[in-house]
Amino acid sequence: MDQDKHFMQMALELARKARGRTSPNPMVGAVVVKDGQVVGQGWHAKAGTAHAEVVALADAGEQARGATVYVTLEPCCHHGRTGPCTEALLKAGVKRVVAAMTDPNPLVAGKGLAILRDAGVEVQVGVLESEARQLNEIFIKYITTGRPFVVLKAATSLDGKIATATGESKWITGAAARTEGHRLRDIYDAILVGVNTILADDPALTTRLPEGRGKDPIRVVVDSTARTPTSARVLIQQSAAHTIIATTEAAPAERRASLMAAGAEVLVVPGQGPRVDLVKLMELLGQRQITSVLIEGGGKINGSALAAGIVDKVAWFLAPKIIGGDAAPGPVRGAGIMSLNDATKLYNVSLQRVGEDILITGYTSERGDTISLPE
């Protein structure tokens, strides 16, 4: 069992190499082991390329015959952009397959493991399953619901302020935390803000990591009446990612037309009331194979997202500063709650030092409580 965990950990580390690059597919790593030695390894680099098992088997060559394959997700058994991994494993003549977890995709969902067992391959599933599920939390949410995995990111002072009373917010957190924020942008498919953030700050919403690394997320602006200026940086900058303006029927037709002429994709989100229905917006984004969304807005959009119940995870940067002031804004606006019993509680909470700041991460649904604070 210890050996199985050791090699599965290797497979998980391989899978992480493609973090933020495989959407709408999961991250998968595979290791081929024979006589206790690694003879092949691989990972799924991006959608449309060879799956991890196929890469690892090619790396192993003839040594794959009679070997054990460790893979972080159940091998697929259906034809997509690539062929079934079950066929590749059987053709290679592997003796044993150890999978961290079954594939939640209804097209697979245990069928791949059953095919291998029926062909005489020894199969084991569940090794480091919790780690594998966390690795692919985005894929699991998307493939089972059709909606993206949503992360709310905030940065506040110790007393819960996102700016001073005069609106100054640069910079509450330190350089290391800001770099970590860009790393989050690099991971998720889309970044979402409200139109007030566009009007107040005119942000670029691009990824700026050291040495020019990182991919830009698709930019989503929640703008019920299409107030986004056509000169906004989210529309005029050079970027491989496009911008979506989510609006309503209340938005003037000429404003929608001007935004489309400026290069934006304009989504008219159905729903009642004057504001964009965030639940329906998530459904529309999921239909576009946007599997994950990072919310980086102000208090209004944060409050609306929590009230709508679309947030799956929270990434909260806490800076060792005290701002004070009744007029200094906080990170979550709206009507709020009347009873503490209705507060959004975080589960499986982790704490991480990021430079001089602390990053608190947690989930809005119960997955157990573990709190750690690394030195």
**Which tens digit of pLDDT belongs to each residue from 264-310?**
999 999 887 789 999 999 999 999 999 999 999 889 999 999 999 99
CA distance 271 to 205: 27
Least confident window among 79-88, 146-155, 212-221: 79-88
Whether residue 283 lies in the annotated active site: no
Answer yes or no: are the C-beta atoms of 88 and 53 closer than 8 Å: yes
CA torsion sign, 111 to 114 to 120 to 126? positive
Burial of 297 by CB count in 10 Å (0-12 exposed, 13-18 middle, 19+ buried)?
buried
Query: Catalytic residue among 53, 129, 254, 265, which?
Result: 53
Per-residue model confidence as pLDDT tens digits over 358-367: 999 999 987 5
Mean per-residue pLDDT for 87-110? 92
Q: Give the model's confidence band at 83: pLDDT under 50 very low, under 70 low, under 90 confident, else very high.
A: confident
Q: How much is the pTM?
A: 0.91
**Of 344, 348, 280, the residue nearest 134 (C-alpha):** 348
Q: Name the average pLDDT for the chain.
A: 92
For residue 372, the model assigns a pLDDT of 42
CA distance 162 to 130: 34
Per-residue model confidence as pLDDT tens digits over 113-143: 999 999 999 999 999 999 999 999 999 999 9
Say whether 130 counts as a known binding-site residue. Answer: no
**Residue found under tokens 């090699």:** 7
For residue 248, the model assigns a pLDDT of 95
Residue 122: CB atoms within 10 A of its CB come to 12
Q: Give the model's confidence band at 368: pLDDT under 50 very low, under 70 low, under 90 confident, else very high.
A: very low
Say whether 239 counts as a known binding-site residue. Answer: no
Quote the DSSP letter at residue 211: G
Say whether 133 counts as a known binding-site residue. Answer: no
CA distance 52 to 38: 15
- Which domains are assigned to the chain? 1-139 (3.40.140.10), 147-363 (3.40.430.10)
For residue 370, the model assigns a pLDDT of 42
Say whether 140 counts as a known binding-site residue. Answer: no
Answer yes or no: are the C-beta atoms of 128 and 7 closer than 8 Å: no
Report the Cα 124 to chain-centroid distance in Å: 28
CA distance 146 to 73: 19
Say whether 231 counts as a known binding-site residue. Answer: no
Say whether 299 counts as a known binding-site residue. Answer: yes
CA distance 229 to 210: 30
pLDDT at 29 over 80: yes
What ranges in the chain are assigned the alpha helix state H? Answer: 2-16, 52-60, 85-92, 111-118, 129-135, 137-145, 175-187, 195-201, 233-236, 253-261, 278-287, 299-308
How does DSSP assign 252-312, residue by residue?
-HHHHHHHHHTTPEEEE---SSSS--HHHHHHHHHHTT--EEEE---HHHHHHHHHHT---
Find residue 123's DSSP bridge partners. 97
**Residue found under tokens 């699991």:** 140
